[in-house]
Structure 1
Amino acid sequence: MSGLIFDLDGTLIDSAPDVHAAVNKTLEEIGTGGLPLEQVRGFIGNGVGVLMERVIAAKGLSQDAHASLLSIFRRHYDADPATLTTLYPNVAETVAHFHAMGLPLGICTNKPEAPTRTILESFGFLGAFDSIVGGDSTSARKPDPVPLLTARDRLGVTDVIYIGDSEVDAECAQRAGLPFALFSGGYHRQPLDELPQSARFDDFAELPAIIARLLAETA
């Protein structure tokens, strides 16, 4: 049986506004000016620890403050992770389509598991996903393949297609030996043509046809 696993930030959701708000609340709390949205957007993708490393570097702060700033950020972000976050166009319809087909669906994200579940629940799709692996669910984070393979194993399927938006996701899928469908509208930093991919799409309305083709190829 085949299944689908999705990245979250930059793939199903645009979470950058809420991440940005929590970053700036953190900086305000220590008496430092904030950062612009687009700069923070570029920091997303490798987990909250790396996010905070990039914030610290951007503000010229000491990395010795990493643990305390990360704790402040988590307090602000975890308290309200879905106020400004939005779904990308046609995500809700596409997830509902795959769920109605009976395809096992999973999430593999570097976002911690608790806010991941809060966000999915806020959009009404927590029950659509049979496997949710966050950045703190295993001992590794993407692009290490362990989280993605763990999400696959929890789905109880052998064939999986991973859907994501970034170089982190592309490398993770490649290292896991899984097909990868690349969403062009997310948080990638490298040119899209440089990312290993089995297919690419600009709008989630295109994804069912792409998945049908990739599933036929893996059958």
Structure 2
Amino acid sequence: MRRAVVFDLDGTLIDSAPDIHAAANTVLERRDIAPFTLAEARGFVGHGAAVFVERCLSARGLSEDAALQAQVLEEFLELYEGAVHQTRPYPGVAACLDALVAEGLDLAVCTNKPEGATAAVLAHLGLDRYFDVVVGGDTFAVRKPDPAPLREIIACLGAVGAAYVGDSEVDAETAARAEVPFALYTEGYRQTPVEELPHDARFEAFDDLPAIVRRLLAAG
């Protein structure tokens, strides 16, 4: 009986906000648009690159300029795929993934990060070896919080039991709509108080996740 754990990426497995922040500011500064703080950039992450750029420009009163948005998005994506050098896994991630693999679980990634950038950062950090399936925000015609990508991953793995692990409002909604148990990582990029997000379990340290996964999968 195959069982799976599917992870979000940014704000869950990795802290990529410093790289995203730097890439965005590089593009904005080319146009003399005021740069963002790291905290501001972190708050824009979660719905994919296009929404991230839209939020950046909207915060500077430039959301109505469709041509500018298209240009900024194109240049941001060019930088984004190589934006890996300031990104780090959260503490305990590798040991947690080792433990889950040792228990015979299939692992996958379901993120709104573009597929190319996702592959690049997983390879750079040496995390790609853990995952049987990786789905990015541009892999399908829809992205999270639409439940289709998560459901497709579970079907592809042939898993009869699965749990989803994420950090954000988008992840909580995705899991709820897919009817998959959800473990909330509380140290990521969410903006909403933990108590207001639907979740089946929460954790602040990856050392605790294997036991949580066992419980969620046992509950079925």
Matched with 2:70 is 67
For residues 33 and 186 of structure 2, what CA distance do their matches in structure 1 show? 34
For residues 116 and 147 of structure 1, what CA distance do their matches in structure 2 show? 15
1:71-115 deviation per Cα after TM superposition (whole angstroms, max 9, x unaligned): 01011111x221101111100110111122221100000001111
Aligned ranges for residues 140-151 of structure 1 at < 5 Å?
A: 140-151=142-153
1:42-74 deviation per Cα after TM superposition (whole angstroms, max 9, x unaligned): 000011111011000111224312111100101
Give % identity: 47
Q: Secondary structure at the match of 1:181?
A: strand
Deviation larger for 190-199 or 28-37: 28-37
Matched with 2:104 is 102
Shift of 1:128: 1.1
Aligned ranges for residues 37-48 of structure 1 at < 5 Å?
A: 37-48=38-49
Matched with 2:36 is 35
1:150-208 deviation per Cα after TM superposition (whole angstroms, max 9, x unaligned): 12122221211000001100000000010000000001111111111110001000101
For residues 77 and 209 of structure 2, what CA distance do their matches in structure 1 show? 33
Structure 2 unpaired stretches of 5+: none
TM-score, scaled to structure 1: 0.96
Q: Secondary structure at the match of 1:42?
A: helix
Matched with 1:127 is 129
Code of the residue aligned with 2:186 in structure 1: it is S
For residues 28 and 8 of structure 2, what CA distance do their matches in structure 1 show? 28
Matched with 2:114 is 112
For residues 125 and 87 of structure 1, what CA distance do their matches in structure 2 show? 9
TM-score, scaled to structure 2: 0.96
Q: Retained in 2: the 8 A contact 1:133–1:150?
A: no
Q: Retained in 2: the 8 A contact 1:53–1:63?
A: no
Q: Retained in 2: the 8 A contact 1:24–1:34?
A: yes
Matched with 1:76 is 79
Code of the residue aligned with 1:72 in structure 2: it is E
Shift of 1:33: 2.4
Aligned ranges for residues 1-219 of structure 1 at < 5 Å?
A: 1-61=2-62, 62-64=64-66, 65-78=68-81, 80-218=82-220
Q: CA RMSD in A?
A: 1.0
Code of the residue aligned with 1:12 in structure 2: it is L
Count of matched residue pairs: 217
